[in-house]
């Protein structure tokens, strides 16, 4: 099995060319992209991906929530089964060019290299299908929750619940997907023996420690709450201060409290309010309501329990201080989670055979691999992010790191395709 060969120059060129083409879809003046899930821009990116897949011999399938699958039949005499590889194409508003998209395009290019190795007799696949996938609405920027497409695929979320999710304008995911032509009914011919995802780190650990590839072994848990303070509209001029029920003031107290608890945790807890919607949002009206998207993240479930208790207690104090009412309109919980141990070990063997500097690490951010790991063994790989910046136009991963990631991904996929057996476990057997 070819672990040691350099990536062909034309495959590397294909990766950079694809990244440039996709970066132009939804490009912003600041150098980022805005490509929200099931938007016109997302539709254009999906169209480009599907054209590329068909041109390179893949069979394209779209499922009931718009997940795009490019299926490559490696050998019709091989045992049944599939290895999946991909990420997502949707972005945050004015987000980065590499987040998600790099993982999809690297999967495409790795498949090209693997297909060539099979044709040249360098790789004998024991698994029939290699499936490149682009999951729907990973980011959760337009529709909540995040990880919608991968969660439906893994069975953690019902398709009807996903399709009924509404954006800020009241448009359902079903209607948005239908508008761009990606409300499908197909599924690949085999479920994954393994899922592999390559992603930019979105942190600075690899850069700071001078490692080229990170193998993710576990993920922090997260608890998210959409919280609405309800006050009373009044004139901002004559209304006495002591008589105001200011929903935005209540929101500001909560925002400060969430940040202060996280800052006091010495890195064990991350907390933020990433979105606030104020009504009626007029400079001359005391805010009647304020809706906040609150999230708490930690690798320690006890830390999360304490943070959630403190969050709920703070709501009572804030309401007593401001005269507002509060409603928790929705919430979601993602427990701290470990990735498949055998898969991580296989990935490390494959990558270290290339003499690349690897390390095991945690992810704080959520990824589609987490949703897949609920049902199928999954491997998540990171490459460095410059300064750890992500979800911003300044997001950057150097060309050499993009290429190293593709080389590492191809080696991992090659091993999985040649060593994976029918029960979905690599050579050592069993999954975590």
Query: Does pLDDT of 381 surpass 70?
Result: yes
Query: Does pLDDT of 182 surpass 60?
Result: yes
Which region among 322-331, 339-348, 354-363, 416-425 has the lowest average model confidence (pLDDT)? 416-425
User: What is the pLDDT at residue 110?
Assistant: 98
Contacts for 170 with CB less than 8 Å, ≥ 6 apart: none
User: What is the pLDDT at residue 424?
Assistant: 41
CA atoms within 13 A on the CB side of 186: 11
Query: Does pLDDT of 1 surpass 50?
Result: no
pLDDT above 90 as % of the chain: 92
List strand residue ranges (DSSP E) for 64-168, in order.
68-73, 82-88, 129-135
The torsion defined by the Cα of 199, 200, 201 and 204, in degrees rounded to 10, comes to 170
Query: Does pLDDT of 165 surpass 90?
Result: yes
User: What is the pLDDT at residue 427?
Assistant: 43
d(CA 414, CA 57): 19
Domains in the chain with CATH codes: 9-220+336-419 (3.40.630.10), 221-333 (3.30.70.360)
Query: Does pLDDT of 420 surpass 80?
Result: no
Mean pLDDT value across residues 161-178? 97
User: What is the pLDDT at residue 432?
Assistant: 30
Query: Does pLDDT of 430 surpass 70?
Result: no
d(CA 5, CA 164): 47
Mean pLDDT value across residues 325-341? 92
Q: Tokens in use for 278?
A: 């104020």
Strand duo 289-298 + 221-230: pairing? antiparallel
Query: Does pLDDT of 388 surpass 70?
Result: yes
User: What is the pLDDT at residue 78?
Assistant: 82
pLDDT above 70 as % of the chain: 96
Mean pLDDT value across residues 126-131? 97
Query: Does pLDDT of 423 surpass 70?
Result: no
Nearest C-alpha neighbor of 350 from the set 118, 114, 119: 114
Residue 76: pLDDT band (50, 70, 90) is confident
User: What is the pLDDT at residue 426?
Assistant: 43
The torsion defined by the Cα of 156, 158, 161 and 167, in degrees rounded to 10, comes to 50
Q: Tokens in use for 38?
A: 């099931």
Residue 183: pLDDT band (50, 70, 90) is very high
> Mean pLDDT over all residues of the chain?
94
User: What is the pLDDT at residue 80?
Assistant: 85
Predicted TM-score (pTM) of this structure: 0.89
Cα-Cα end-to-end distance for the chain:
25
φ/ψ (deg, to 5) at 270: -115, 135
Query: Does pLDDT of 353 surpass 70?
Result: yes
C-beta of residue 345 within 8 angstroms of C-beta of residue 379? no
C-beta of residue 179 within 8 angstroms of C-beta of residue 168? no
User: What is the pLDDT at residue 401?
Assistant: 98
Q: Tokens in use for 60?
A: 């394209």
Task: Report the SS3 class of residue 390.
Answer: coil
Tell me the per-residue pLDDT of 80-122, one tens digit each, with 9 for 90 and over.
Answer: 899 999 999 999 999 999 999 999 999 999 999 999 999 999 9
Sheet holding 269-279, edge to edge: 269-279, 289-298, 221-230, 325-334
CB-count exposure of residue 388 (10 Å: 0-12, 13-18, 19+):
middle
Task: Report the SS3 class of residue 248.
Answer: helix
Query: Does pLDDT of 77 surpass 90?
Result: no
Tell me the per-residue pLDDT of 20-33, one tens digit each, with 9 for 90 and over.
Answer: 999 999 999 999 99
């Amino acid at each position: 099995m070819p672990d040691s060969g350099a990536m062909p120059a034309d495959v590397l060129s294909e990766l950079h060319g694809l990244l440039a083409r996709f970066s132009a879809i939804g490009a912003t003046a600041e150098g980022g992209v805005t490509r929200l899930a099931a938007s016109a821009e997302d539709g254009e990116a999906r169209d480009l991906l599907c054209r590329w897949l068909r041109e390179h011999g893949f069979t394209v399938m779209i499922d009931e929530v718009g997940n795009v699958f490019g299926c490559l039949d490696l050998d019709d005499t091989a045992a049944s089964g599939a290895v999946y590889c991909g990420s997502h194409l949707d972005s945050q508003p004015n987000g980065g060019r590499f987040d998600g998209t790099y993982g999809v395009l690297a999967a495409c290019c790795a498949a090209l290299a693997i297909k060539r190795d099979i044709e040249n007799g360098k790789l004998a696949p024991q698994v029939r299908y290699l499936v490149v996938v682009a999951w729907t609405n990973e980011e959760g920027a337009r529709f909540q929750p995040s990880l919608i497409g991968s969660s439906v695929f893994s069975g953690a979320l019902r398709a009807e619940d996903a399709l009924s999710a509404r954006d800020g304008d009241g448009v359902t995911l079903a209607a948005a997907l239908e508008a761009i032509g990606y409300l499908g009914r197909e599924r690949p011919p085999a479920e994954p023996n393994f899922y592999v995802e390559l992603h930019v780190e979105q942190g600075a650990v690899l850069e700071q420690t001078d490692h080229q590839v990170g193998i993710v072994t576990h993920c922090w848990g997260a608890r998210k709450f959409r919280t609405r303070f309800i006050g009373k509209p009044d004139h901002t001029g004559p209304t006495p201060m002591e008589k105001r029920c200011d929903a935005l003031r209540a929101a500001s107290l909560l925002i400060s409290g969430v940040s202060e608890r996280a800052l006091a945790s010495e890195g064990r807890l991350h907390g933020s309010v990433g979105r606030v919607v104020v009504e009626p949002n007029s400079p001359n009206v005391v805010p009647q309501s304020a809706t906040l998207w609150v999230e708490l993240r930690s690798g320690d479930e006890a830390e999360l329990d304490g943070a959630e208790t403190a969050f709920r207690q703070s709501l009572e104090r804030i309401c007593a201080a401001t005269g507002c009412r509060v409603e928790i309109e929705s919430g979601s919980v993602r427990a701290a989670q470990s990735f498949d141990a055998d898969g991580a070990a296989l990935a490390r063997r494959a990558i270290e055979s290339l003499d690349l500097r690897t390390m095991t690490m945690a992810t704080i951010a959520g990824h589609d691999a987490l949703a897949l790991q609920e049902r199928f063994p999954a491997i998540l790989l990171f490459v460095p992010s410059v300064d750890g910046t992500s979800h911003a136009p300044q997001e950057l991963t150097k060309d050499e790191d993009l290429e190293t990631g593709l080389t590492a991904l191809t080696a991992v996929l090659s091993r999985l395709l040649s060593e994976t057996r029918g029960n979905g476990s690599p050579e050592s057997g069993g999954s975590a």
